[in-house]
Structure 1
Amino acid sequence: MREHESAAPIPPQELTPPTDYGQYVVDILAKQNQLTGNVDQTVLRNCLGLSSSFLMTDVTMNPTTGLASWNAGFNRLVDVMVALHRKGQLELSTVNAASKACSECWTVAGSWRNMEEVRQCVKEVAAKLQGLLDENGRTYGGNKVYTP
């Protein structure tokens, strides 16, 4: 290429839409309900396992509403757990997954500046989970719950 020739113009980049944990959770739960009519706790645990990743992407890709969407998704999952608990169907592995998710989200919030609000959200979710535990606050159905 000669000096006076210019390179081909670079096409504009399409922006990737921000992630939305709240919508993701609604979509997954709705699809699951359509297919089986039941809550597959393996799917629930997978959604819980993604909470810290969605926390990072929701908040960074959408600073104005990312925290709200992430919080909505996390709370919806725990609300489903509360419903399963009331029916006597909640599995210990799901409680453990939620406890681990809280721990991971707490760590993410502590690793970034200006994430105090996230820690408050995690505290609220953890309080809901605490309400599901046995009287001693450390077991569920007589079995030890994951603690970091």
Structure 2
Amino acid sequence: MEMPAVQSTPTDYGKFVIKVIPRMHRIATTNAAAPSNDTTGTPSTSTSTPQNIIDQKVLRHCINLSSSYLVTDVALNPERGISTWFTGFNRLMDVVCALHARGELELETMNIASKACSECWSVGGCWKGLEEARDCVKEVATRLKKLLDENGKTYKGQRIYAP
């Protein structure tokens, strides 16, 4: 008896990231002015302003999946897998760079991004057909390196993950 061929749906890290990025956002309300010390009962003139905040825990989780998606994207879609994986990986690093520019990037997130580059570099060198991924990782790692302190080994004075 012959078993029917099972077709697996290719994974697509790029599509996954596009779906998750909006879910990373949460709105926090902050006071625009300091609380009033007025004891006469006059209402305070401070206003609340919504702030768009990225949940870096979700971001880190997505970044942690990068090496797994590298393998599955390419294994299930040899023609376009590197492209779909790099689209997702690069978009996440865009978010990391934007957080840095806003002064909001957490050390843990930078560590995870550095670790992901290292893992993807290793996967790219160990799995046949993934050599091209190393060029993509090099591009992302170069961008991340620009965020480091002048010594190239720390971020905001703290050591970061380095293989």
TM-score, normalised on structure 2? 0.80
Residue 115 of structure 1: CA displacement? 2.6
1:26 and 2:18 aligned:
yes
Q: Deviations over 1:11-60 (max 9, x none)?
A: x4552210000110110112333x54431101111111100000000001
Q: Find the counterpart in structure 1 of residue 133 from structure 2.
A: 118
Higher helix share: 1
> In the alignment, which residue of structure 1 is the partner of 2:116?
101
Greater displacement, 49-58 / 108-117? 108-117
1:143 is matched with 158
Q: Quote the offset at 1:64 in angstroms.
A: 1.0
Higher strand share: 2
State the one-letter code of the partner of 2:10.
P
* 2:11 alignment partner, SS class: coil
Q: Give the corresponding residue for 2:146.
A: 131
- Aligned partners of 1:24 and 1:30: how far apart in 2? 11
Task: Tell me, yes or no, if structure 1 residue 63 matches structure 2 residue 55.
Answer: no
Say which one has the larger Rg.
Answer: 2
Q: Give 1:116 deviation, angstroms.
A: 2.5
Q: CA RMSD in A?
A: 1.6
Answer whether contact 2:24 2:59 (CA < 8 A) is retained: no
- Runs of 4+ aligned residues of structure 1 deviating over 4 Å after TM superposition are none
Tell whether 2:55 aligns with 1:45: no
Give the Cα separation in 1 of the matches to 2:111 and 2:140. Answer: 14
- Distance (Å, rounded) in 1 between the aligned partners of 2:77 and 2:16: 15
What is residue 4 of structure 1 aligned with on the other side? none
Aligned residues: 139
Partner secondary structure for residue 38 of structure 1? strand
1:73 aligns with 2:80: no
Give CA deviations for 1:54-113 in whole Å, capped at 9, x if unaligned: 000000100111100100100001100110001000000000000100110011011022
| Structure 2, unaligned runs of 5 or more | 28-51
